[in-house]
Amino acid sequence: MPVSTTVTGMVLSAMPVGEYDKRLVILTKEKGKITAFAKGARRPNSALLACGQPFAFGEFSLYAGQSAYNIMSVEISNYFGELRDDFEGLCYGFYFCEFADYLTKENIDEKDILKLLYQTLRALAKKTIPPKLIRSVFELKIMALNGESPQVFNCVKCNKNSFSEETIDRNNLNIRYYFSAKCGGILCDNCRGNDKGAVSINTSTLYTMQYILSKEVEKLFTFRVIDQVQAELDLCIKRYLECYIEHNFKSLDMLKSL
User: What are 204-236's pLDDT values in tens digits?
Assistant: 999 999 999 999 999 999 999 999 999 999 999
Residues 106 and 193 in one domain: yes
Q: What is the CATH number of the domain that holds 57?
A: 2.40.50.140
Of 22, 54, 79, the residue that ends a domain is: 79
Residues 75 and 86 in one domain: no
Per-residue pLDDT of the chain (258 residues; tens, 9 = 90+): 567 899 999 999 999 998 899 999 999 999 999 999 999 999 888 889 888 889 999 999 999 887 789 999 999 999 998 998 899 999 999 999 999 999 999 888 999 999 999 999 999 999 999 999 999 999 999 999 999 999 999 999 998 777 776 555 655 556 789 999 999 999 998 899 999 999 999 999 999 999 999 999 999 999 999 999 999 999 999 999 999 998 889 998 888 887
How much of the chain is in helix, strand and coil states, percent to nearest 5?
40, 25, 40
Residues 71 and 145 in one domain: no
Residues 62 and 96 in one domain: no
* Total length of the chain: 258
The amino acid sitting at 11 is: V
How wide is the angle at C-alpha 102 spanned by C-alphas 98 and 105, nearest 5°? 130
Range of the domain at 157: 82-258
Q: How many domains does the chain have?
A: 2
Nearest to 73 by CA among 57, 58, 61, 59: 61
Of 62, 79, 96, the residue that ends a domain is: 79
Residues 222 and 116 in one domain: yes
Of 79, 103, 127, the residue that ends a domain is: 79
Q: What is the CATH number of the domain that holds 152?
A: 1.20.1440.120
Count of helices and strands (H, E) across the chain = 7, 8
CB 88 within 8 A of CB 113: no
CB atoms closer than 10 angstroms to residue 223: 13
Task: Return the beta strands (E) in the chain as ranges.
Answer: 5-17, 21-28, 32-38, 57-64, 69-78, 176-180, 185-187, 199-202
Residues 73 and 102 in one domain: no
CB 114 within 8 A of CB 31: no
Residues 97 and 143 in one domain: yes
Residues 104 and 58 in one domain: no
